[in-house]
Amino acid sequence: MTKKDIAEQIADAEDVFLSKKDVYRIVSHVFDIIENSLRSYEKVQISGFGTFMVKKRKAKIGRNPKTGEEVPVPDRYVLVFKPSYKMLNMIDMMRKRK
Amino acid sequence: MKKLEIVNKVAEDLKIPKKEVKKVVDLMFEEITKAIARGEKVEIRGLGSFRLKRRPSRFIRNPRTGEEMFIEEKYVPYFRMGKLMKKALNSKKS
């Protein structure tokens, strides 16, 4: 599923009166805003869905699993997503219904 | 940043009524959740992708009482950041 698929499904919902194009513009813009916020290391909290946040991982000594050679891994930033309980419950419920 | 702030900004930038924007934003995260639950991969270019992961059932032992418990298998969403995001976060660091 991509942004386009998401937009198409929403545009088809009966209580949405916007055009497919406008829905796509909204979906796309929402992700742009989320991305921009994260790029400045600010977390984004979507209630009912989850939280995106940037975390710092400390430098460590890695090892090449094939050769056993030690490789330094510098400090780095990762984007993590923490699902909300509502989302976890929804997924659990949908899986059990099957 | 919270959902409401995003809704306000989108409504302002795109000149679409706030009420309509909110409806779309709520539906959008609902659709993503549903797709993940169905086992579909949801890919947002640049940001990353969501997948469903299975956590197998297992036995755990309460370390204090030694009591054994059975934990049923469960499915959890899993997010992996995109390459572009990884690059952006690690290039301009101070």
- Give per-residue pLDDT as tens, A10-53: 999 888 889 999 999 999 999 999 999 999 999 999 999 999 99
Q: What is the pLDDT of residue B41?
A: 96
Read off the pTM: 0.87
Q: How far apart are CA A1 and CA B30, in angstroms?
A: 13
Q: How far apart are CA A35 and CA A87, in angstroms?
A: 21
Q: What is the mean pLDDT of residues A66-79?
A: 90
Strand (E) positions, B1-94? 42-44, 48-55, 58-61, 68-71, 74-81
ipTM of the complex: 0.86
In this structure, what token pair is assigned to residue A89?
């419950």
A:39-98 residues touching chain B, CB 8 A cutoff: 39, 41-50, 54, 75-81, 83, 87-88, 90-92, 94-95
Cβ-based contacts of A28 with chain B (< 8 Å): none
